[in-house]
Chains A and B, each alone.
Chain A
């Protein structure tokens, strides 16, 4: 079970959460003023990096709040969570999962 630290509730099991895709994408103020390409970029184009990625998460079976999380898509480890509106923390590389011998 992956524990995800909700910024409002603390660590909770992953089954309480839903992932909402890439974070930090603002809806354009005036969509009508955008070109088709710009609008398509907003609506459809998403990064899918191998490694560190900032995502929106919803604590759907908990407090119901949206927040952002930095996750390593390779190890599936959550590196940071922070409230909507807060800037993305500067996490360059992931700490690899430590195994015993």
Chain B
């Protein structure tokens, strides 16, 4: 065990058991998976992406490039989880990834011996030829060899939420500057949200021993946390990452509600995706400690100097028996001192600078730490680090070290400042990019702004808190700052140890070495965005948080340009990976959109209906009876019942639009191809409406109930589209028309009864004096009256089936009662409920067009409805419908089909070819759009579009269906298969 005997923010009274690669270990509450693994001497935690090199924990935060694991098992398995961000919980199960057969012995680590050919751009160079091998050979092989974790491959059992929050001041990051910003704005009365990706507030203060107000940082933190939680206008959101900045001061945030538990608490989501709208925001996201590039710098045991401090101080872990720090800056020295003071044996500090500040030298002497000034680490050895080789003026020397804390300086965490296109600027004194232009309403404080010392963090945090609160309209005043010794931050820019031994890594996660940067330079991929794509520097889950700076600096050295001129790649959201599940929230599976049951849904369910989704609606598809063996048998029975007696179907799903006003007739004349202003009151008419491009948008019947009152029906599928179209026409095209629209689709239930006995059934439910006789309510009549002893109703004598038929509309709440009344009245006639299948069969028998024909690519003439078009008025689509191509005699138009051998089955989707023609596109003459087995004719029938259309009635063509192996002869016929003269519906 490498756990220090005292100290740390862990709860030693709460031990937690966990497993890594199947082995059991113990940690404590307050540990991360990374700290618990280090405490158990597990230093090798993963294999690298390309070369499968052994890797250990590099950081202690969200920038972690190496320690990626698969967390949890089964459906909850989550790949590429950063062990540094995974809080330990009882029973945690983690597995290393990208290794085979095991983490300790990985055969693909042989890749590293071929690093000379696997360098930058090797995909593009090596697998050029033959191209045909890409899909079958190269890509699968590369994907097996180079990869990260495995997805769960099962549905995620957890739920996710979306939420909104609003505040005056959003503080991003709860370190020293964030605490001061939140306290200052909160004391002024502003509504403050303080979000931090960590479990506890404090940021680097949780990992430091620097005195604040002459006490350990814990005392200051306790006061600050207590004050923040006591302020009712301050909301602290731990475990919450602000990952994006958007228009209008909107910030995307991911709250990990249940990630620190084995399963989320009851009724709690796993994660919550917040949209936080803030009048002002202060970015206090701190900085990353970046690596130095030298040979063997990726060996397990090499970590950032600040991570070494964090593991020692916060987690009471010594990540190796003998620690050495290699750095170019003062801040790494204070990390070494804190680690030593916490109990880690720090044997040496290697600094590239010839003369480190005297105060630091004194500190090292006091702690008995050897100082090697002007030294560079040039090699490391051991599978996990055991020793390092240091080059000094006097030659080389080998030092024993199980942990090497490296630091090339601090890189401000400023990604959020550039999400609006702002480019950071280079500060040579800091050897770092600092924010320049920021998104509207966002200011920056503390280390994220390059203000690295603790005193600077407090001062800028407080100042930006005051400024933000004032901008949001609050009279904020600066408060006294906590007293602290100014932690030193001088550094000497240093990126890359020349002449070191072995592969020197710039980007650990993508196995990009200094040599790869040189290759990219040599081959001309010098611009930073090209460098990134060519070498993969800064890609994948960590997006180069720790690696980008050194990569840019090395490229700048090679080109001779300054780092500022070289620039950085553009940062893009999200700041850290966001699960798609969190972005989707509850919008998945059946929750993605509502299910709309019809008014008779429950009744139909009790009748044993099989339902089908039509758009959002659930409609009865057919009503099987005991003993019926398949749907065709059921549907055939339903059709025969309608044609011989009477049947009933719920047609409430049709769109219904109420139109009132003195100009409705004029309006309808402009949107339909036929005329409605002349429609008599009490009558209905079938209408076709076009889009302005001349193609059919929708069809349906519209009835006139009064001079200034019409009711339109649309197809089920186009109900919303037609309504929107009419609104557009009224509001935008012709606002001067006196027309009011209302969608009444859901307010009215509409039940159709059809069949020769339907009038006798209807007569039993209508109230006197409503007359539904052939003279009282002739074909295409529309009347208002009462049914079932007082229920308001609209009755339309319409027919889709071709039989005598009525549609009775009642307020939706009476839909089921009406259905029951009609069923009771029809019982002596054997009234049969039927579903959408039988409805479809009967409309095909009648040759009516439906959704399969109204494809948005068919004109009224194509559908055989051209004669309906008025020539006496303008209407939407008229000009374009007159295009010569639409009148082409060779254009495929609507027609019926039957198999020459009547025993054969037709298939919708089959294409028509001349008899004997080769099945190639040039010979294509059209296609079958709808087919049905006709119980009335006792053979299959079809509708479709054929070149030449009606002129070819009587001819035979080939119906070719290569997808399902169909190839039969069909005869072209009139689409009206049953009662083409329409005598039955007028009786």
Contacts and interface: CB of A to CB of B under 8 A. Distances in A.
Contacts of B436: 101
Interface string A54-95: 001010100011100000000011000000110000000000
Given A56-B732, A66-B731, A3 B248 contact: yes
Give the interface centre of A32, A77, A84, A99 by most chain B CB atoms within 10 Å. A99
A50 interface: no
A100 interface: yes
B132 interface: no
B727 A99 contact: no
A84 B878 CA distance: 25
Contact of B874 (A32, A43, A58): A32
Contact of A66 (B275, B442, B727): B727
Contacts of B443: 100-101
Contact of B437 (A3, A31, A77, A99): A99
B879 interface: yes
Interface of A: 1-3, 14, 20, 27, 30-32, 34, 39, 43, 56, 58, 60, 64-66, 76-77, 84-85, 97-101
Given A39-B879, A99-B420, A99-B440, 19 more contacts: A1-B248, A2-B247, A2-B248, A32-B878, A32-B879, A43-B693, A43-B880, A66-B728, A76-B247, A84-B732, A85-B735, A97-B440, A98-B440, A100-B440, A100-B441, A101-B435, A101-B437, A101-B438, A101-B443
Contacts of B444: 100
A2 B245 CA distance: 11
A31 B693 CA distance: 13
A87 to B, nearest CB: 14
A65 B731 contact: yes
A43 B692 contact: yes
Nearest to A2: B247
A60 B731 CA distance: 13
A98 to B, nearest CB: 5
Nearest to A31: B879
A65 B437 CA distance: 38
Nearest to B249: A1
29 contacts: A1-B246, A1-B247, A2-B246, A3-B248, A20-B728, A27-B734, A31-B878, A32-B874, A32-B879, A34-B879, A43-B692, A43-B693, A43-B880, A56-B732, A58-B724, A60-B724, A66-B732, A76-B247, A85-B735, A97-B420, A97-B440, A99-B420, A99-B422, A99-B440, A99-B442, A100-B441, A100-B443, A100-B444, A101-B438
A2 B622 CA distance: 47
Interface string B498-514: 00000000000000000
A1 B275 contact: yes
A99 B435 CA distance: 11
B753 interface: no
Contacts of A98: 440
Interface string B87-131: 000000000000000000000000000000000000000000000
B772 interface: no
A20 B441 CA distance: 30
B720 to A, nearest CB: 10
Contacts of A14: 247
Nearest to B252: A1
Contacts of A3: 247-248
Contact of B731 (A27, A84, A100): A84
A69 B250 CA distance: 21
B667 to A, nearest CB: 13
B277 interface: yes
Contacts of B732: 20, 56, 66, 84
A8 to B, nearest CB: 11
A77 B248 CA distance: 9
Contacts of B435: 101
Contact of B439 (A39, A58, A64, A99): A99
Lowest 5 CB-CB distances: which A-B pairs, in order? A1-B250, A2-B247, A66-B731, A100-B443, A31-B879
B420 A31 contact: no
Given A1-B247, A2-B248, A84 B440 contact: no
Interface in B265-282: 275, 277
Most buried by B among A20, A31, A56, A65: A31
Contact of B438 (A31, A43, A76, A99): A99
Nearest to A29: B874
Contacts of A30: 874
B874 A31 contact: yes
Contact of B442 (A32, A76, A100): A100
B733 interface: yes
B658 to A, nearest CB: 15
A97 B422 CA distance: 12
Contacts of A97: 420, 440
Which of the listed residues A60, A65, A66, A76 has the most CB atoms from chain B within 10 Å of its own CB?
A66
B574 to A, nearest CB: 16
Interface in B415-446: 420, 422, 435-444
Given A31-B878, A66-B728, A100 B735 contact: no
B41 to A, nearest CB: 47
Contacts of B724: 58, 60
B275 A27 contact: no
A83 B983 CA distance: 52
Interface in B436-461: 436-444
Contacts of B440: 97-100
Interface in B880-894: 880
Interface string B232-256: 0000000000000011101000000
Contacts of B878: 31-32
Contacts of B422: 99
A100 to B, nearest CB: 4
Nearest to B733: A27
A53 to B, nearest CB: 17
Contacts of B275: 1
Nearest to B436: A101
B728 A1 contact: no
Contacts of B247: 1-3, 14, 76-77
Nearest to B736: A85
A3 to B, nearest CB: 5
A95 B692 CA distance: 37
A1 B247 CA distance: 5
Contacts of A34: 879
A76 B248 CA distance: 11
B285 to A, nearest CB: 15
Contacts of B735: 84-85
A65 B732 CA distance: 10
Contacts of B734: 27
A31 B882 CA distance: 12
A78 B443 CA distance: 23
A64 B441 contact: no
Nearest to A66: B731
B738 to A, nearest CB: 15
Nearest to B877: A31
Interface string B593-632: 0000000000000000000000000000000000000000
Interface in B661-718: 692-693
Contacts of A27: 733-734
A60 B727 CA distance: 11
A14 B880 CA distance: 34
